[in-house]
Chains A and B, each alone.
Chain A
Amino acid sequence: MSCILVVEEARRDGSTRVFQETLAAGRRLAELTGLAVEAAGVGEPGRNIFAQITGAQPAAGHAIRHELLAAYTADGYTLAFEQLIRRLEPRYVLFPHSYQARDFVPGLAARFGQALIGDVTAIGEGPTFARQLYQGRMHATYRHAGGGPCFLSIQNGAFRADEGAGGTMPVSEFTPALEPAQIRTRPGTPFRETAQTVDLSSAQRIVGVGRGIKDAEKLPLVEDLAGALGAELGASRPICDNGWLPMERQVGSSGQTVAPKLYLAVGISGAIQHLVGMKGSQCIVAINKDPDAPIFEVADYGIVGDLFEVVPALTEAVKAAR
């Protein structure tokens, strides 16, 4: 019965891309272990949870249905998946590394005496699991010590979803035993803070500024560069957290996703939460004083140096060339 169980999650817009990527990670693990891939997901009655799966189909699907799971809660999901996992006894359980998985999977794993291997970027022989440490400045590989299911969450974009034609698979229904009193939190309806007045997603060029700028008073330096390039100003999270630039200029997993022709990262280290928001840019330039900064891993061009010297020089060079 031992299998690789891959858990479905749909985005607010209905997209299941991260689930499909997690399925691809499951298939990779299947190659290495010879185990079969099965899928599980939560859904309201009548919804075919697995309808969007493209490429090779899992061997089986498990549709978890319960009225107390209509809105996500950590309590509800932990109980439901605990029961399903005790029934199926999978060897591996894979989740997309989403905010939702972060919210309940560590507790679910603890219930089985396990710790999650989170935000996995690659799966190797063994199997071993790779993830980043120190905000992307180090990579590490981990092994599960065995005994009990191994819980994994898979980094967004780390595996490529299988794009072949879909198919069908046997789906069984699973109704967990849940009582209203077991759900201790009451979640409200998701909302967006303010109407966005800056749409970075359609900008052709963006200058992204990070904590390397040190001080709000130094921002005119990058504003001048953006002006010379005809670019919009974007920022990493700490800049917006500090209130130096409005939230709507934040690029990354909790901000906007952008894909301009040119993204110029100034004093940004390149944490994964920032990279997911801009790595689709056509051309990426990084200016950073640290030659080992992870931003250089995705950059086409880089200048290693002090931004307070490089940025004014670049502004001049751009003006001269135009």
Chain B
Amino acid sequence: MKIVVAIKQVPDRDAAIRMAPGAKEIDERELQWAMNEPDAYALEEALQLKEKHGGEVIVASAGPERVGTTIREALAKGADRAIHIVADDLGARDALGVARLLARAVAPESPDLVLTGLQSEDRGEGQTGVILAELLGLPHATLILHVDRTETGLRVKRELEEGWHQWIEMPIPAVLTMQSGGNKLRYATLMGIKRAKAKELRAVSAAELGVDATPAIVLEGMAAPQKQKSTQILRGSPREAAAELVEKLKTEARVL
């Protein structure tokens, strides 16, 4: 099976998110970056499918120069080659605009399967995979935890709300968006990191792909969240704060 995995680089989970002047972007200057976690699960599924059924795993990622480190990480984990769609203006494109870039870059590969995470940890729109399927003219399923190859295509396990699940049968080629937790994620080995250096990483500029960047959705501005409740923050040493909390839970909230 030829599998394309679309991955995104996002701010590291523990990074402090601060606004840049103008309130339309976050301040990227001191950020650490990481592979979007649901995409890491998509990559893991792809690598396991390849181990079981043979084939090739190609990662595709759109973003500026820095995205290269996340692509190398995917190659080190076992992907065979990569396509980097070099674009400095992802933040100004809406989900359709980004998916158009990916679709243009991925279509010539004619993959049997396209996998991606169910949503990104930055914008959290959860649209890329579904739009990709639409643009590539392929069937899709979202929130997938498990993928089986069948004689005619795939049998996938989809997560539904509140602990429910469902199996779906579908033909290939297809697009799936992966939910976290279906597999154990692997780490890159030293050998993998060494090998990654020799793997093909093809860069293609967004301009070359000739995709309309005009968004249907425009960001007006960003702001720090407002509190819904007035939280009492208890200060002091851990012991002092703990003692005060117990007192408040007993006498004020009356829940102890």
Contact = CB atoms under 8 A, between A and B. Distances in A.
Contact of A113 (B96, B219, B255): B96
Given A145-B216, A237-B180, A262-B255, A304 B233 contact: yes
Interface in A293-317: 294, 296-306, 309-310, 312-314, 316-317
A11 B239 CA distance: 46
Interface in B1-52: 11, 13, 16-17, 19, 26
Contacts of B229: 284, 297-300
Contact of A118 (B19, B127, B161, B225): B127
Interface string B204-241: 00000000001111111111111111011110001101
Interface in B132-166: 133-135, 139-143, 159-166
B161 A133 contact: no
Given A102-B142, A301-B234, A313-B242, A109 B222 contact: no
Contacts of A202: none
Contacts of B250: 321
B60 interface: no
A282 B253 CA distance: 9
A135 B26 CA distance: 14
Nearest to A255: B163
B26 A192 contact: no
B181 A191 contact: no
A: interface residue count bin? 35 or more
Contact of A142 (B19, B168, B219): B219
Nearest to B212: A113
Contacts of A185: 139, 141, 168-170
Contacts of B241: 303, 305, 310, 313
Given A139-B225, A188-B166, A297-B225, A317 B17 contact: no
Contacts of B166: 187-191
A186 B249 contact: no
A98 B161 contact: yes
B134 A300 contact: no
Contact of A238 (B161, B180, B247): B180
Contacts of B180: 237-238, 241
Given A184-B170, A185-B141, A193 B165 contact: yes
A72 to B, nearest CB: 10
Interface in A7-27: 11-12
B224 A292 contact: yes
Nearest to B155: A188
Contacts of B216: 113-115, 144-145, 147-148
17 contacts: A12-B164, A74-B130, A134-B11, A134-B124, A139-B222, A139-B223, A142-B218, A145-B216, A148-B216, A186-B168, A187-B167, A211-B13, A257-B162, A284-B229, A301-B245, A303-B242, A321-B247
Interface of A: 11-12, 74-75, 78, 98-99, 102-107, 109-111, 113-119, 126, 128, 132-145, 147-148, 184-193, 196, 205, 211, 229, 237-238, 240-241, 243, 247, 253-257, 261-262, 282-286, 290-292, 294, 296-306, 309-310, 312-314, 316-318, 320-321
Q: 7 smallest A-B Cβ distances: which pairs?
A: A241-B181, A106-B127, A184-B139, A107-B134, A188-B167, A115-B94, A313-B242
Interface of B: 11, 13, 16-17, 19, 26, 94-97, 99, 118, 121-127, 130-131, 133-135, 139-143, 159-171, 180-181, 184, 214-229, 231-234, 238-239, 241-243, 245-250, 253, 255-256
